[in-house]
Structure 1
Amino acid sequence: MKLKTLMLGAAAASVLAPAVQAERGEDGNVNIIYWQAPSIMTPYLSGGTKDIEAASLVLEPLGRYDETGALVPYLAAEIPTVENGGVSEDLTQITWKLKEGLLWSDGSPVTSADVKFTADYCMAPEGGCAQFAKFTGVESIETPDDLTVVVNFDKPMPNPYGPFMGGQSPILQKAQFEDCVGAAASTCTEANFNPIGTGPFVVDEFKPNDVISLSANPNYRDPEKPAFATVTFKGGGDAEAAARAVLQTGEYDYAWNLQLAPDVLASMAEGGEGTPVSAFGTLVERIEMNLTDPSPDLPEGERSTVAHPHPILSDEKVRRALSMAIDRELLVEVGYGQAGRATCNLVPAPELYASDNTECLTQDLEGAKALLEEAGWTDTDGDGVREKDGEKLSLLYQTSTNAVRQDFQALIKDWWRQIGVETELRNVDSSVFFGGDPGSPDTFQKFYADVEMYANNFDGTDPQSYLSMYRCGNEPKPSSQWQGENINRFCNEEYDAMLDELAKTGELEKRGEIAKKLNDMLTKESMTIVPLVDRGRVSAHSNTLGGVVLNTWDSELWNAADWYRIDE
C-alpha cells in the first residue's frame, strides 16, 4: 500500500456513520494506545500533547474546533460572534451562554462559576499554568447568572476565542479544584489524576506513565452516548509497537502519532487489521535553541534561567550556522515521505498566516563554516572541533525516544560535525520528556540541554495564542513550577510590541502580515527556533472502529463520544 493511499484515510473515516446510534455502553470496551504515556489529566499543568488529549476524554471546553478548523459549540449553546451579539462591536467583550441542564460527572450542575474559576485558576500567580497564553488580555470575568459568562478584555480582541476554546482550555469544576490554586496546583494529586468532568468518560484509575481506565460518564448530556462502556488507555512503548498493535495484531483500536518511516507504516498497513489516517495542520518538528545556560555547574534553580545567558548560543551567527547545515528535504525523505514537508516556519498554516520564508530549505555547509569563522570559532588544534576563548563548540542535543527522532539526531549530528561542531546526543523517554514534572531534570520545559527537538501545534486556525508563547516572562522557571511556554527563553521587546499590535488588529489580511513577521522574527531573523518538518499527523484505527474523524486543529480524541463498534 502506498502512503499516498494512506493519506486518504481521514476523509474515508468521516463517512462511516452508523445506521443507528448504539445505546450508551452497548459496544463494550475500546482500546487506545499512545506511545507517549500521559502523566497527568489536566492540560493546565502540562503542555504535552499526550496529556492534553488524554484529558480531553474527561474535560471539555465551551467550544471546539472541528476537523475543518471551524468553531463548534460543546458546553456552550452557541459560538458567540459579533453577528449574534455574543461579541461586542468594540471587540472588548465576549459573552458565553452555557447549555441548560449540564451536569458534572458527579451529578452536580455546571455553572458559570466553574468557568470563571477556570480562568482564575490558570491566571493565578505562582500556578505555573501551561496554557497561560490562552488568557492573554483577560481583564475580568463576570457571571450575571448561572448560565452566563462575560469575559472582558483590556483591549479589543479580534480573536476572542483564546479562553475556554479547544482541548487546551477546558473547564474545571470549582468544587474539586478550589483548594488547588497558585502554588498548590501541582500538589493536588487526586484532582490532577482524577478530574471530575463533563466529557463522555470518567477516570476510574489513573496510573501515571502507564495506563488509564475509564468508563462511560453516567451524566453525559447525550443519553445515547458514548457507545463504549469502558476505555483502556495504554501509554508507553514506541510508535512502531503502537502501529503494529492496531494495523497488524488488532490488539488496540486506536493508535496516536505514528511517527514512523513511510515504508514501515505502509508495510504494516498490509496487515489488514486497521487503517492509517493522516491530515496536515500546524504540527512542526523543530529544534529549539536554549538562550540560557543549562550548565550543571550552576546552582539548581539557576540553570536554564534568564539570569545566565548561554555562552555559545547567545550568538545569532552560531544559531544560524547550525540551521544552515541541515538538509531538511533529506529529513523529510527519511522520516515522513509524503506525510511531511520541509519548512522554515513555526506557523506553516493556514495560508493566511504562513510566511513565504524558504531560505532555510537549501543546505549550505560552506556558508555555515564561514559564518562560524566570522563569529570567531576556529579549529586551531586540528581535532575537527572549533573553539573560541578556550571553549569547545560542543552541544548537548536532546529529544524524546523515538526511531524517527533518533534518525534525525544522527543525521544532524553528522552535518554539525562537518562544520566543526561536537554534538552529544541524549534521548529521554517521551512520558518523562513531555510530562511536566517540576521535580524531573529531563522535561522539555526545564531544558537542561543546549538544543532540543520536538513538535507541537495550536488549537484552531488563528496563531495569536501560539505566537504569544514566546513573550518575555513566559519562560519556564522555578517560580512557575517550571511551567511556561517560552521554551527557548526568547525575549524581545519589539516582538512583544508586535504581539500587542496583533491582539488589537481585526482586519484579517493585516493579522496575517503581523503573524508572518512574528514567525520570521523567531525563525528567520533570530533563529531561536529552527523549523525542520511540517508534519502530517498520522494515526491509525482498527477496521472495526467507526466514527473516527482525524482532527489536526484540536484534540485527536475530540469526538470520542461518537465512536462506535462496527460489526464484522
Structure 2
Amino acid sequence: MKWKKLLAATLALGISAVVMAGCGSDKAASNGEKALVIGDTTFNSSNEEPDVNPHNAYAGWACIRYGIGETLIKYSDKMELQPWLATKWENVDEFTWKFTLRDDVTFSSGRKMDAAAVKQCLEHLIANNKRAAQDLKIAAIEANGQELIIKTTEPRPALLNYLGDPYGCIIDVDAGFEQGIVAGTGPYIATDIKTDDHLVLKKNEHYWGGTPKLDKITIRTITDGNTLSSALQSGEVQAAYGMAYESYPLFKNDKYNISQISTSRCFFGKMNFDPDSVCADPAVRQAIAMGIDKENFVAKLLDGNGFPANGVFPAGPAFGGDKVKAEKFDLDGAKKVLEAAGWVDTDGDGIREKNGKKLVIKWLTYPSRQELPLLAESAQATLKEIGMQVEINNTADNNQVVKDTKAWDVYAMANVQAPTGDPEYWFTVFATSNATKNQGKYRSARLDALENQLSREFDPAKRAQLALDMQQVVLDDHAFVFCSFLKMSMISKANVKNYTSHACDYYQVTADLDVE
C-alpha cells in the first residue's frame, strides 16, 4: 500500500532525526529542514500511550496532540462544540444523528475522507476500544458520499461530546496499524515510533488546512522533570510539556514562552473497596478525605499553579464543583472519626490498629506527572498525624499494579475530568459499577440510577443538576478524594511560535506551530 511504502521510505530518516535531537539546534536539522524537538513527560506506556493508534487504550491523546489525527468535532477553550472534520450535524431524533463531512480532506495515505471511510473507522473503533463502545453506543452507521448517519442503541445526548474524544480521531483503517502508526487527516505524519522513547513526524504536504510550517517534529519521551528542564535549557529540546512546576522560575524570562490555561485536569485518589483493603472501612475513607491538606499542597508544592479541588469538577456554571459539599482539612475531626470506628493506637507506636490490624495505607501513584509523588509525600506526612502509616509505591508500572486489588488502598492519579465538555464522561470511566477504570470496585445503586437518567437526558439544565447530584453521591461515600485542579502549561524557546495550551489538553501540534 502507498502508506506502507511511505513508512519504509522514511524510517531511516526518522531514526536519524532522533539522533540529531541531542544536537541542540533551535531551528533546523543538518539537512536544512525546519525542525523542532519537543520533550514530553507523559507520552509513555505508563499513561497508556504506547503508540499513536487512537483505537488503542488512551493512545488517541498522542494522535490528536501531535497533529496526526483529527475528530469530527473539536472543543473551544470554553469547551464549546465546534465543527472540524464535520461541517454540521443534526439530531434527527433521540436515536439518530446526521453529519455532513468536509469534502476537501484526504488522509495522509492519499485516500479521500468520505462517509464510507469514517464509517469504517468508527466501526473498527467500537470493535477494539471498550471505552468507546460503551460511550458511543452505536447500533448502526450509514454512509452516503459526505453524509454520515449514526444510529444509537439508546438515546445518546452526549454523542457529539464523545465524538470529539481523542479516540474519535478519524483514520484510514485500510492503511494499517504497523508499529502503532496510523494515517490520519492532520498536519503531520508519523514515520517512526519507539514506545517510551520517541516519535518522529514529517509534515503532511497535502494537509487540507494549509501547509504546515515545520518539516519535521520529534517528540522525545523524558519522564524525569529535572532531565526535561536541563534539556530545554541546553537547547536539546526547544519545547516542553509536563514540566515540573518547581522548574518554572528558570523559564520566566524573555528567552522562553509559557502558555498557561486553567483546565479540569485533577489530582485525585480513588479508594479500594476490596474487603481486604483498609479503605473498605467507611471511617478510614472519610479520615483520609479529612486528612489531606489541599491548600498547602497547591500553595507550596504546586507553587500556586492550580487550585484546591472540592468536587469532581472545577467551580463554575458548567459543572458546579463549588456547589457540592466535601470534607475539609480537619486532623482533629479525622482522629475522632477513626476512634469512633474502633481504630486506636494500643501499642503507642503512633499507628492505629483495629482487630489486630495496623492502619497502613498502600498508596499507589506514578512519576510521569511530576507532582503526584509530591502529593503522596504530603499525604504521608499529614495522615501520619492522625495515626495512619502511608506506604508509597511510586512506579511507572502503575497500570499493572492497579489490577491487583491486594496491592493498593489509594491510587492517586492525574486526569482531565471533563475532556469532552460534558460531565458524563468522568462517571462512566471511573465511578459507575461498569466503569472502565473502576479498579477499586466501587458500587453505588444510587449513582448507577442517576447515570441511567443522565445518559438519556437531553436538557442541559437537567444534565447539570444530575451531574451535581452524582458528584455528591461519590463525595458522601468518600469513594474518591479530589485534591487539586491544575493550570496546564507548555514552555518553549522564545523563537517557537504557536505552541499553545488548551483547556481540553489536546491540539498541541498544529499547522501553525513554527520556529523562527
Same fold (TM over 0.5): yes
* Paired position in structure 2 for 1:495: 447
State percent identity of aligned pairs.
Answer: 21
Q: CA RMSD in A?
A: 2.6
Q: How far apart are residue 108 of structure 1 and its match?
A: 1.8
Distance 1:360 1:501, change over 3 A: closer
Of 457, 464, 471 in structure 2, the residue corresponding to residue 505 of structure 1 is 457
- Checking the alignment, whether the CA contact within 8 Å between 2:364 and 2:410 is kept in structure 1 is yes
- Checking the alignment, whether the CA contact within 8 Å between 1:346 and 1:531 is kept in structure 2 is yes
1:298-341 Cα offsets, whole Å, 9 max, x none, are: xxxxxxxxxxx443212222111111011110010122233211
Amino acid at match of 1:266: P
- Checking the alignment, whether the CA contact within 8 Å between 1:65 and 1:166 is kept in structure 2 is no
- Checking the alignment, whether the CA contact within 8 Å between 1:43 and 1:130 is kept in structure 2 is no
1:131-150 Cα offsets, whole Å, 9 max, x none, are: 44531x4333222x132221
Distance 1:517 1:240, change over 3 A: farther
1:65-120 Cα offsets, whole Å, 9 max, x none, are: 133323222222x132xxxxx222x4332111221142221112223233233333
Q: TM-score, normalised by structure 1?
A: 0.78
- Rounded Cα–Cα distance in structure 2 between residues aligned with 1:49 and 1:105: 17
Aligned pairs for 1:267-278 within 5 A: 267-270=250-253, 272-278=254-260
Amino acid at match of 1:497: A
Distance 1:313 1:52, change over 3 A: farther
Amino acid at match of 1:139: A
Q: How far apart are residue 491 of structure 1 and its match?
A: 2.4
Partner SS state of residue 561, structure 1 = coil
- Rounded Cα–Cα distance in structure 2 between residues aligned with 1:48 and 1:423: 32
Is 1:66 matched with 2:76? yes
* Paired position in structure 2 for 1:564: 514
Q: How far apart are residue 151 of structure 1 and its match?
A: 1.4
- Checking the alignment, whether the CA contact within 8 Å between 1:345 and 1:519 is kept in structure 2 is yes
Is 1:289 matched with 2:271? yes
- Rounded Cα–Cα distance in structure 1 between residues aligned with 2:316 and 2:133: 23
Q: How far apart are residue 425 of structure 1 and its match?
A: 0.9
* Paired position in structure 1 for 2:40: 34
- Rounded Cα–Cα distance in structure 2 between residues aligned with 1:361 and 1:472: 21
- Checking the alignment, whether the CA contact within 8 Å between 2:433 and 2:442 is kept in structure 1 is no
Of 370, 375, 387 in structure 2, the residue corresponding to residue 420 of structure 1 is 387
- Checking the alignment, whether the CA contact within 8 Å between 2:283 and 2:338 is kept in structure 1 is yes
* Paired position in structure 1 for 2:413: 454
* Paired position in structure 2 for 1:335: 301
Q: How far apart are residue 128 of structure 1 and its match?
A: 5.1
Give the stretch that moved more between structures: 536-545 or 371-380.
371-380
| Structure 1 residue ranges without an equivalent (≥5) | 1-24, 81-85, 178-189, 293-308, 476-483
- Rounded Cα–Cα distance in structure 2 between residues aligned with 1:379 and 1:52: 52
- Checking the alignment, whether the CA contact within 8 Å between 2:243 and 2:370 is kept in structure 1 is no
Distance 1:343 1:488, change over 3 A: same
Q: How far apart are residue 256 of structure 1 and its match?
A: 1.0
Partner SS state of residue 392, structure 2 = strand
Distance 1:459 1:133, change over 3 A: farther
* Paired position in structure 1 for 2:211: 225
Distance 1:163 1:513, change over 3 A: closer
Is 1:466 matched with 2:426? yes
Is 1:541 matched with 2:492? yes
Amino acid at match of 1:451: V
- Rounded Cα–Cα distance in structure 2 between residues aligned with 1:328 and 1:279: 20
Of 87, 92, 96 in structure 1, the residue corresponding to residue 91 of structure 2 is 87
Distance 1:461 1:560, change over 3 A: same
- Checking the alignment, whether the CA contact within 8 Å between 2:497 and 2:514 is kept in structure 1 is yes
Is 1:377 matched with 2:343? yes
- Checking the alignment, whether the CA contact within 8 Å between 1:139 and 1:152 is kept in structure 2 is yes
Aligned pairs for 1:19-168 within 5 A: 28-38=34-44, 39-47=50-58, 51=62, 54=65, 56-76=66-86, 78-80=87-89, 86-88=90-92, 90-124=93-127, 127=128, 129-135=130-136, 137-143=137-143, 145-168=144-167
Q: How far apart are residue 165 of structure 1 and its match?
A: 1.4
Partner SS state of residue 378, structure 1 = coil
- Rounded Cα–Cα distance in structure 2 between residues aligned with 1:520 and 1:318: 19
| Structure 2 residue ranges without an equivalent (≥5) | 1-30, 45-49
Q: TM-score, normalised by structure 2?
A: 0.85
- Checking the alignment, whether the CA contact within 8 Å between 1:287 and 1:454 is kept in structure 2 is yes
Is 1:174 matched with 2:173? yes
- Checking the alignment, whether the CA contact within 8 Å between 1:355 and 1:520 is kept in structure 2 is no
Is 1:242 matched with 2:228? yes
- Rounded Cα–Cα distance in structure 2 between residues aligned with 1:34 and 1:507: 39
Q: How far apart are residue 417 of structure 1 and its match?
A: 1.3
Distance 1:66 1:355, change over 3 A: closer
* Paired position in structure 2 for 1:3: none
Q: How far apart are residue 471 of structure 1 and its match?
A: 5.4
Is 1:206 matched with 2:206? no
Amino acid at match of 1:207: K
Distance 1:169 1:288, change over 3 A: same
- Rounded Cα–Cα distance in structure 1 between residues aligned with 2:287 and 2:469: 21
- Checking the alignment, whether the CA contact within 8 Å between 1:106 and 1:219 is kept in structure 2 is no
Amino acid at match of 2:388: V
Q: How far apart are residue 472 of structure 1 and its match?
A: 4.3
- Rounded Cα–Cα distance in structure 2 between residues aligned with 1:167 and 1:254: 22
1:27-70 Cα offsets, whole Å, 9 max, x none, are: 7111111022332213432337864655x521221121133323
- Checking the alignment, whether the CA contact within 8 Å between 1:42 and 1:192 is kept in structure 2 is no
- Checking the alignment, whether the CA contact within 8 Å between 1:320 and 1:527 is kept in structure 2 is yes
- Checking the alignment, whether the CA contact within 8 Å between 1:49 and 1:456 is kept in structure 2 is no
- Rounded Cα–Cα distance in structure 1 between residues aligned with 2:338 and 2:320: 30
Amino acid at match of 1:79: K
- Checking the alignment, whether the CA contact within 8 Å between 2:269 and 2:411 is kept in structure 1 is yes
Of 440, 463, 469 in structure 2, the residue corresponding to residue 517 of structure 1 is 469
- Rounded Cα–Cα distance in structure 2 between residues aligned with 1:344 and 1:540: 28
Distance 1:53 1:318, change over 3 A: farther
Q: How far apart are residue 227 of structure 1 and its match?
A: 1.0
Distance 1:357 1:380, change over 3 A: farther
* Paired position in structure 1 for 2:243: 258
* Paired position in structure 2 for 1:6: none
Partner SS state of residue 242, structure 1 = helix
Is 1:530 matched with 2:481? yes
Distance 1:357 1:413, change over 3 A: farther
How many residues end up aligned between the 2 structures? 478
Q: How far apart are residue 201 of structure 1 and its match?
A: 1.3
Q: How far apart are residue 207 of structure 1 and its match?
A: 0.7
Partner SS state of residue 353, structure 1 = coil
